[in-house]
Amino acid sequence: MNTNNKATIRRILFGNAIFSVLSGLLFTFFSASIANFLGAGASTIILLIGIGLIGYAALIYVNASRGELSRFFVLFTIIGDSAWVVFSIVLLLTNWVPFTVEGKWTVGILAAIVDVFSTLQFIEWRKM
């Protein structure tokens, strides 16, 4: 992996970690308000997602900070982010969660942001 590619993938991973930890903190500390806004009704699930996002962010940060960046780990983040996007789409299409209109937009926008991270990571992963 060339030095430029290494720096680029690290920046993308750090961006992903920052976005994940901020989302996780919001989901954790404002789970009831967010559940109400989304129309999800289950603040415990939002809380658990928030805690999971904080852990995911820490995992990304620790691995992106290592001297040698693992190709396997980058693939892991691509798969994790892609799973988030697919699950978001499934939730939006199935109506398993009776999202409010605002909730649907929020889930869609968050999925689009996560998809950008996944796509950028994939592009750089292929260069590794």
Q: What is the pLDDT along the chain (128 residues), one digit of tens a residue?
A: 567 778 999 999 999 999 999 999 999 999 999 999 998 878 899 999 999 999 999 999 999 999 889 999 999 999 999 999 999 999 999 988 889 999 999 999 999 999 999 999 999 999 98
Question: Residue 48's closest CA among 60, 31, 33, 64?
Answer: 31
To which residue do tokens 């960046």 refer?
A: 69
pLDDT at 6: 87
pLDDT at 1: 59
Residues 120, 59: Cα–Cα separation, whole Å:
18
Residues 6+ apart with CB under 8 A from 30: none
pLDDT at 114: 98
Residues 78, 100: Cα–Cα separation, whole Å:
29
